[in-house]
Amino acid sequence: MRLYFHFLVILVLILQSCTESESKIQDTYVLSNVTLIDPVDGSESNKSLLIKDGKIGQIFEANDKRIFEGYSRYDLTGKFLIPGLWDAHVHYAFNDSLRSSMNRLFLAHGITSVRDTGGPMEIVGEVKKYTKEHTTTSPNVFFAGPLIDGTPNVYNDSSPSYPLLSIENKDPEEIVQNTAGLIASEVDFLKAYEMLTEEQFKSLTKIAQEHKLKVTGHIPLSMNLFSAVEAGLNGMEHLRNLEMTAASNAEGLQRQRLGLLKNKDDLSGGFLRLLIHQKQRIPAIKAEDAERFKKVAKLLEEKQVFQTPTLVLYRNYATKAFKDSSFLKELNKLPEFVRNEWTSQLALIDTTTDKTYSNWMLNTVKKLRTYDIPFMTGTDTPIGFLIPGRSLHRELELFVMTGFSNLEALQAATVNPASFFELDDELGRVKEGYRADLLILDANPLDDIKNTQKSYALVKDGRFYSKEELHAMLNLK
């Protein structure tokens, strides 16, 4: 038995080294006769692409047979090629049992880049290191490190719903020290959280600007959208706390928040935030003032503040979509332990639907998209039972539902997040010299956005994955 096991290990090692050298030989190849869809320039049919050294080496007419005759070819007649997709809001640190499966789940669903929007350095720093060393089997990961929060911090390890995703900062000096520490750890951006004081927030954006790092986050409850954006907030997640600034009684609401933030009852961060949201969110939505909303939109446009609304997170809760049989079938993609964990948690969720907040989000995106504001598709996976990769396609559908054209939705999932990191000259487009992170589809996503789900093949950092390989990656144990 033992001998047999050793034999098996050796066989696996031999097979592994075979596929590695094979992929090196196939580093250069031609993707032949495809309709390519560049998210900026639109679609062009009958094109072939030379993939070389992990990049798009050359794009040429498919009928030009003289070129690259000797190279291996993948015939993509009738197929559609788009850049690999981004999920601009994920949390590797949220579920320990799921973490090691997240890379495979992202790739298998065509997601080749992600932004990790909060987790402790010990975890997300390791994820970043691993993915940098395994570029053909992992998405590109851009990470913020922990949420930079005030006191009491929300994600403080007090329960499974509030794992330790943040650092608590008690005064502005701590912010300076902690942020310098994150910058030394080479984070790609910073994420500001809701319990920061105005003074703390301003000292955070000042340091970020000195180091040319973008700051995204939630509008701190102590502030309003105008002061946060003027102080240098570059991105907003979940449109968080926008409604409190657009309300006709916004000043009164802010005064009430500053009172509640004194936290006389010594609540935990999670409970204090919940209390404030419960007191203000729905009343603020009901008191929305058209002129104030316009001012908000104009400022977001002027300062080009990136919006990652994570519509799917709220839609799922509002409609209880995770009770649908189609959703439950999707759980089979998860490792067994996580599937069981989620199934038992889902059974406890009541089935009441309340769409008030989710409808407000959809309507707000609908209005904001008429301004020149950059949007990104993100989900918050695996929070809210969102399956890594799968949920991004649902987000794309919701973008289209709010009025984005299919091409604009693709921009939000490709070139826009690349430009958040000022990488739009190397990532997120189908152009010569760009990185070969590509998704090949059986049907045209410009006809129906759901066609992004019909994967035929994937290229990650030049490595070609067939449909069979992608399917095998979903069959996790």
List residues near Zn ion by CB under 5 A.
Answer: 117, 380
- Which region, left, alpha or beta, applies to residue 450 given φ > 0 means left and ψ of -120 to 50 means alpha? alpha
Residue 152 or 163: the one with the smaller Cβ distance to Zn ion is 163
> Peptide bond before 139: cis, by omega within 30 degrees of 0?
no
Report how far residue 43's alpha carbon sits from residue 57's, in angstroms, rounded to the nearest whole number.
19
Centroid of chain to Cα 444: 23
Minimum CB distance to Zn ion, residue 372 (Å): 26
Q: Which is nearer to Zn ion, 112 or 310 (CB)?
A: 310
Please state the closest distance from residue 240 (CB atom) to Zn ion, in A.
10
Which residue, 309 or 428, has its beta carbon nearer to Zn ion? 309
What DSSP string describes 292-349?
HHHHHHHHHHHTT-EEE--HHHHHHHHHTGGGSHHHHHHGGGS-HHHHHHHHHHHHHS
The whole-angstrom separation of Cα 235 and Cα 477 is 37
Closest CB to Zn ion among residues 117, 419: 117
The enclosing H or E element of 455 equals strand 455-460
Least Å distance, CB 194 to Zn ion, is 12
Count the neighbouring beta carbons within 10 Å of the beta carbon of residue 15. 10
DSSP 130-143: HHHH-TTTS-EEEE
Q: Which token pair is 59? A: 């794009």
* Closer Cβ to Zn ion, 163 or 462, answer by number: 163
- Least distance to Zn ion, CB of residue 467, Å: 31
Least distance (Å) from Zn ion to the CB of residue 191? 8
Q: Please, which residue, 117 or 406, has the CB nearer to Zn ion?
A: 117
- Looking up tokens 């997601």, which residue turns up? 111
Judged by beta carbon, residue 152 or residue 382, the one nearer Zn ion is 382
Closest residue to bound Zn ion by CB = 380
Least distance between Zn ion and beta carbon 117 (Å): 5
For the bound state, the minimum distance from the C-beta of residue 155 to Zn ion, rounded and expressed in Å, comes to 9
In 3D space, the residue among 368, 447, 366, 372 whose CA is nearest the CA of residue 406 turns out to be: 447
Please identify which residue in the block is written with the tokens 């409808």: 359
The whole-angstrom separation of Cα 139 and Cα 132 is 9
Q: Least distance in Å: CB of 91 to Zn ion?
A: 6
Q: Which two tokens stand for residue 182?
A: 């994150």
Which residue, 47 or 115, has its beta carbon nearer to Zn ion? 115
- Least distance to Zn ion, CB of residue 419, Å: 21
- List residues bridging with 190 in a β-sheet: 215
Judged by beta carbon, residue 113 or residue 117, the one nearer Zn ion is: 117
